[in-house]
Amino acid sequence: MDLWILIFLILGSGVLSLAEMAVGASRNSHLAMLAEGGSAGAGTVLRFRQHPSRLLATTQLGITALAMLSGVFGESLWVPRAELWLREGVGLAEAPAYWLALGGVVTVITFFTLVFGEVIPKRLALAKPEATAVALAGPIKLLLRLVHPLVFIVSWVSDRILDLFPAKGTAEASAADEIRFLIESGRKEGVLDQTESEILGNVFRLDNRRVGAIMTPATGIAYLDLSQPREANMKVLQERAVSRFLVCKGGFGNPLGFVESRELLQALLVGNGLDFGKLSPSPPFYVPNSLSLIGLLEFFKANQTQIALVVNEFGGTEGLVTLSDLMGTVVGDVLSGAVEAPLALQRSDGSWLLDGLLPIDELKELLQMAELPEEDLGNYHTVGGFVVYQLGRIPKKTESFEWAGWRFEVMDMEKNRVDEVLAKRLEG
């Protein structure tokens, strides 16, 4: 009977350890799916995770109490028996027999408590955390109610002590970080292929990237200028195959709006031909260059548009951005059917040939940089902007500088725009 009591105490400690580890290792996303499927236990576990201090105090209180009972029970019942055997069976003196019996009983109880009360339960919990947590949700909920007054006191005292420290270590890993980890794990395990993992990874970078990094700069925009002769505008139509044309009057700095290419085609095919002065462009939408790509997507949805002009903090028009540009950051440039050169190309010597339009977040990922100088100020969004910011002027071809163990050299310029940059790791 005495042995069964000790086994019960050790297994009770194991159940509490099992519950504590299972709840802690469970994933909120999986629990939410189970709860939506009608699992009451999953909903209970989610509530446990919302208030982890209560569960931790309850399980630790139970584990500590059971450990103390095991020690008291072992000392009062098993130590005298072991001491008697050592004195009468082995022939030891009273003092050595007592201390040897005490040490032996404590060692045996500690060993079985460690194996069956800690290690095995926690490994079982890690194998199937959600299923285990849901199965134990009912008993743990009952235990929480039974020991609520004592747990309240323990939690209150703990919180008051933690208030003395500058910060509480209660921050959990963000959901985004957890999902990124799952994506990478899925790719390594073969659940996701390379393309799927890249697309999912690009989605989670949308909030960190800015409109200025993906827009078409003003120098690359084809627009119709109503102040120009008809022949000049007809030449623009012939040279550029786009779905919409920006209509301006007096230059790019005075945009009137956008007109669909099909409207221009209809005007050319019907009547007396295309009269640019009679165009009725739709008013343009404007977005700041510092807007995140998630914000841009929400803007497009809210305004039912697929194109917008990009302005800086002074209201000057810097370029334009389209839904195609936005989708290209996620799935690649497949919407237009065009095959373009990559923005970054690694050479045989390990150096990188970078397009000036390469976004800075992709630059950091390629070169494994933690940060770029004052990038949080939003003064630049591309490799070209980074070069101009570092040099403090419009650079010339072959100009260079060094940063974070890399040498950046301007390889080509397109008027005042940095077209190509060579990044080479410094030796030593």
Task: Write the single-letter amino acid at 99.
Answer: W
CB-neighbour burial class of residue 27 (10 A; exposed 0-12, middle 13-18, buried 19+):
middle
CATH of domain 344-425: 3.30.465.10
d(CA 384, CA 410): 9
Ordered by start, the domain boundaries in the chain are 2-162, 175-204, 208-331, 344-425
Residue 91 neighbours by CB under 8 Å, 6+ apart? none
Residue pair 326/395 in contact by the 8 Å Cβ criterion: no
Residue pair 77/39 in contact by the 8 Å Cβ criterion: no
pLDDT tens-digit series, residues 187-212: 787 777 878 888 888 888 888 888 98
Count the residues in the chain. Answer: 428
Of the segments 108-112, 308-312, 424-428, which one has the largest average pLDDT value?
308-312
Phi, psi of 221 (to 5 degrees): -95, 130
Residue 172 has pLDDT above 50, yes or no: no
What does the pLDDT read at residue 188?
80
What does the pLDDT read at residue 173?
47
pLDDT tens-digit series, residues 252-270: 888 999 999 888 888 888 7
Residue 239 has pLDDT above 90, yes or no: no
Alpha helices of 225-289 — where are they, by DSSP H? 230-239, 261-269
Name residue 113's beta-bridge partners. Answer: none
Alpha helices of 163-210 — where are they, by DSSP H? 175-189, 194-203
CA 371, 376, 379, 380 dihedral sign is positive
Residue pair 326/252 in contact by the 8 Å Cβ criterion: no
Residue pair 401/418 in contact by the 8 Å Cβ criterion: no
The residue that leads in pLDDT, 289 or 169, is 289
pLDDT tens-digit series, residues 76-85: 777 888 888 8
What does the pLDDT read at residue 310?
93
What does the pLDDT read at residue 323?
92
Q: Which two tokens stand for residue 232?
A: 């000049």
Residue 175 has pLDDT above 90, yes or no: no
What average pLDDT does this structure show over 303-325? 90
Residue 244 has pLDDT above 70, yes or no: yes
* 208-331 carries CATH number 3.30.470.20: no
Q: Which two tokens stand for residue 137?
A: 């949700």
- Quick count: other Cβ atoms within 10 Å of Cβ 371? 10
The mean pLDDT of the chain is: 84
Q: If pLDDT is split at 50, 70 and 90, which confidence band does 322 have?
A: very high
pLDDT tens-digit series, residues 14-31: 899 998 898 888 888 788
d(CA 343, CA 72): 71
Residue 353 has pLDDT above 80, yes or no: yes
What does the pLDDT read at residue 397?
92
